Amino acid sequence: MNDLPVVSPLTHLNEEEKFFYDTVKDLAVEKIRPYLKEMDESAKMRPEIPKHFFEMGLMGIHVPEELGGAGANFFMSVLAIEALATVDGSASVMVDVQNTLVNNAFINWGSEEIKKKYLPQLTSSKIGSYALSEAASGSDAFALECRAEDKGDHWELNGQKMWITNAAEAEIFIVFANVDPSKGYKGITGFIVEKGFEGFTVGKKEEKLGIRASSTCELIFEGCKVPRGNVLGEVGKGYKAAIETLNEGRIGIGAQMVGIAQGAFDAIIQYVKEREQFGKPIGKFQGVQFQLADAATKLEAARLLVYNAARMKDAGMPFLKQAAMCKLYSSQAAQEITSLVIDLMGGYGFSKEYPAEKYYRDAKIGTIYEGTSNMQLQTIAKFILKD
């Protein structure tokens, strides 16, 4: 079966990157894989798993060392997200949100005082969450109904947020609200809300198709008191912080989708070597080989799009179009590849006793969150059609 196509991310990495990828993958195999079925069925992350992430430094990968982080680059965060997703998309998205959204927002928009106060907590012990979406504000991200009112010595938040990742475990939340609806999106401001703040409640948890162990909850603000100093960036500039952070976050989602597709692909390669029909392994049939070759090519293309966007971000180059492309393509490729894996495994692929169906369910969210595929197409079109 040596003629079967196999995709390895390690061919695109230097020795340091390879070692890091392998180390994170080993963590996922040893500490997460044994509990996949339990966590998927209970829709709950085992509490020791985030502790492993903190101990390994995965919750502050590109946070400067003086603020408690590992001081690595953004690309290393992308590698960690991908490696974890080859085993579990839920665990992967916890690390993804912490690094590409929450930490990035603090690094790029927080005052020195804010950074010194919160980043050491986020890198060592506390999970963060990024709260932008609302019931009426999805793709139209700035149609926010959550309001913030200046009360002199503090801000008061009122409203709800929906579909917020990591909400059940998080202790630090970045929340976007409008301080002046008459100004439209120019009234949007970012606030830092701690779990224990008066008037703040984490609401019901969503029952989801995939990434079930990743918590997705509503947030409720009823006269929530936020200290005046807990504004992230400038008042009225939250829309810029939200957009720019999401641009980076899309690369993380791309990495998650590549990891999910890789995990499913690894499973089917092993399967076609062992499953026999008509007297020989099904991987010997040209029809199966061609489908695997096509899947391998899509996986390779998706990975290179993600890596290119991440490296451009690290190089300080414009990367918005590349981020949209990698998110668009990798999410589509992950759905196609995981679906193919179920087809090739037949009845076994449709059974919960095998990993294929979970990869398939986990992949579906990729075309939806942090910007739907239509929104990515719109962004790409703007770049290719501009004068």
Q: Which of 173, 205, 236 is the last residue of a domain?
A: 236
Query: Do 214 and 145 belong together in one domain?
Result: yes
The answer as to whether 4 is a domain residue is no
Confidence of residue 7 (pLDDT cuts 50, 70, 90): low
The answer as to whether 3 is a domain residue is no
Query: Do 193 and 284 belong together in one domain?
Result: no
Q: Which of 236, 261, 277 is the last residue of a domain?
A: 236
The catalytic position among 82, 156, 218, 370 is 370
**Whole-number percent of the chain with pLDDT over 90:** 94
Helices (H), the chain: 15-27, 36-42, 48-56, 74-85, 89-96, 104-109, 112-124, 238-274, 286-314, 320-345, 347-350, 356-363, 373-385
Query: Do 231 and 180 belong together in one domain?
Result: yes
Confidence of residue 349 (pLDDT cuts 50, 70, 90): very high
Catalytic annotation present for 171: no
pLDDT for 386 beyond 90: no
The answer as to whether 189 is a domain residue is yes
pLDDT for 10 beyond 70: yes
**DSSP line for 258-297:** HHHHHHHHHHHHHHHHH-EETTEEGGGSHHHHHHHHHHHH
Give the mean model confidence (pLDDT) for residues 18-45.
Answer: 97
Query: Do 123 and 222 belong together in one domain?
Result: no
The answer as to whether 165 is a domain residue is yes
Query: Do 210 and 248 belong together in one domain?
Result: no
Give the mean model confidence (pLDDT) for residues 238-248.
Answer: 94
Query: Do 208 and 320 belong together in one domain?
Result: no
Find the CATH number of the domain harbouring 195. Answer: 2.40.110.10
- Is residue 271 packed enough to be buried (19+ CB in 10 Å), middle (13-18) or exposed (0-12)? buried
| pLDDT score for 387 | 60
The answer as to whether 1 is a domain residue is no
Give the residue carrying structure tokens 């990743």: 214
Q: What are the tens digits of pLDDT across the range 159-206?
A: 999 999 999 999 999 999 999 999 999 999 999 999 999 999 999 999
Query: Do 112 and 139 belong together in one domain?
Result: no
Query: Do 75 and 30 belong together in one domain?
Result: yes
Query: Do 247 and 363 belong together in one domain?
Result: yes
Looking at the structure of the chain, the number of domains it has is 3
- 165: closest CA among 231, 226, 91? 91
pLDDT for 136 beyond 60: yes
Query: Do 194 and 321 belong together in one domain?
Result: no
Query: Do 146 and 116 belong together in one domain?
Result: no
Query: Do 148 and 39 belong together in one domain?
Result: no
| pLDDT score for 1 | 36
Domain range enclosing 117: 9-127
Q: What are the tens digits of pLDDT across the range 253-299?
A: 999 999 999 999 999 999 999 999 999 999 999 999 999 999 999 99
Q: Which of 179, 203, 236 is the last residue of a domain?
A: 236
Query: Whole-angstrom Cα distance, residue 275 to residue 272?
Result: 5
Residue 160 · residue 132 · CB < 8 Å: no
Confidence of residue 137 (pLDDT cuts 50, 70, 90): confident
